[in-house]
Structures are given as C-alpha cells and as structure tokens.
Amino acid sequence: MDLSARVLPVLEEKSKSLKLTAIINTHHHWDHAGGNKKILDAFPNIPVIAGKDSEAVSKTPSHGSTFSIGKNIQVTALHTPCHTQDSICWYMEDKATDDRVVFTGDTLFIGGCGKFFEGNGTEMNKALNEILAALPDDTKVFPGHEYTKSNVKFLKKVDGDNEAVQRLEKFADENKETQGKFTIGQEKAHNAFMRTSSEKMRKVTGKSEPHEVMAVLREMKNAS
C-alpha cells in the first residue's frame, strides 16, 4: 500500500518467506506512488492497482468493486475524488476475524482531511460524509500521513468544547502515532470535516449546506 522505493531492500530480504502479489496506491502523488517503477524493476510481474494517474498503473477497479487478498480478506475500492481526481480509499474486511480497516491516503486524516488540490467542497463532503461515513463505525482508519497534532490544534479552535476532540487531544499528546487507533465512528464524533451537517459547524462557518460548510472549513484550516 503506497510503497516507497525505500522499502525495496526489505521486500527483497523477505521475498523468500513473503510473496509480493500487488502494489496498491491511494492516489498518484509521488509520496504515495513514486516507488512503483523501482519496485516493479525488482518484481516485474505484479500489478499496480490504483487510480488512473498513478505511476505504472495496470488496473483501476471501478467504484465499489472488490477483490480478495488470500482466503479471507475482501478489498473494496471506494473512489473519493477531491485531493486528487484519482483518489481511491481501500476498505478491507477480514472474514475470519471480523476486523475492518480503511486506507484513506490523503482523503481522510485522523481529525482532518486532505487539501482540495483537484476538487472542491462538494466532492470532499461526498467522500467523507457519504462514502466513508457509510462504512461500519468500528472500521479502523489508516491515513497516509500522521498529521493528528496539527489537526487537533484546528479542531480546538472550531470545536474545542467537544468532548470527543478533547479525548483525541489527550491521545495525540500521549502517543506518537494515531494511525489505526481511531475508527470511522470516532471520526464522525471528533472530525469537524465529518460534522458538516452539525449545527456547530454551520455556526462556525456561517453556511448551511454541508458542501459549503466543508469548503469554508478547508479554507479556515489552510489559513490556520
């Protein structure tokens, strides 16, 4: 998932015990897909499963389509254009353990969201509050970057009396990593960008429509 060329020595070392069967990207930016070609030089017969603009992409699944990893893990492609137009979040469910995770790239962060480089508030609102919000609440979130401390600073400005934000701040202060430590359900409680229909966010932004609230929140975060 979003492999860097720096992991190539590890992949080569583990190649006897682990079989690399595919590269998956969340979007085409170099820090997520820039290692594809070098890894393919060492492992030439594997597919690159990603959005249409990723380096060396060989397959782009349609929105909602699925494939399997091993016997138990089902992967679903969730197209979430905005940060880039080829952004895809990958929802994975282990049928054996009933564990659920979603790899969100630069679309959803813990307590935040990605910049709208190729999209707008309407697209990000759909990505977060229609597509990702529809996942089971216990789905663990794995973003592409660890930006939680910065995101918390913004959340305190716009929603500081929210107890869920206060819990997130405490965890971020006490832990270096938050990826995989929070769920979709928790994001809906503390992430302002997943609360665009709330009266609080309407008041903060001065807007009433969720997509307008999303756009203003992003402008506020960019300026913070």
Nearest to 143 by CA among 74, 201, 193: 193
- 193, amino acid identity: F
- Indicate which residue of 32, 79, 86, 159 is catalytic: 32
For the question of residue 211 being annotated catalytic, the response is: no
Q: What angle do CA 141, 146, 152 make, to 5 degrees?
A: 90
- Indicate which residue of 27, 28, 79, 190 is catalytic: 27
Structure token digits, residue 24: 């998956």
- Indicate which residue of 83, 86, 159, 190 is catalytic: 83
Structure token digits, residue 73: 């893990």
- Indicate which residue of 53, 94, 99, 145 is catalytic: 145
Q: Give the containing element (helix H, strand E) for 48.
A: strand 48-49
For the question of residue 32 being annotated catalytic, the response is: yes
For the question of residue 79 being annotated catalytic, the response is: no
**What span, in angstroms and rounded, lies between the C-alpha atoms of 130 and 192?**
15
For the question of residue 53 being annotated catalytic, the response is: no
- Indicate which residue of 2, 86, 106, 159 is catalytic: 106
Structure token digits, residue 209: 């429509």
Integer distance in angstroms from the first to the last C-alpha of the chain?
31
* Cβ-Cβ contacts under 8 Å for 75 (sequence gap 6 or more): 24, 66, 67, 68, 69, 90, 91, 92
Give catalytic residues, as residue numbers: 27, 29, 31-32, 83, 106, 145
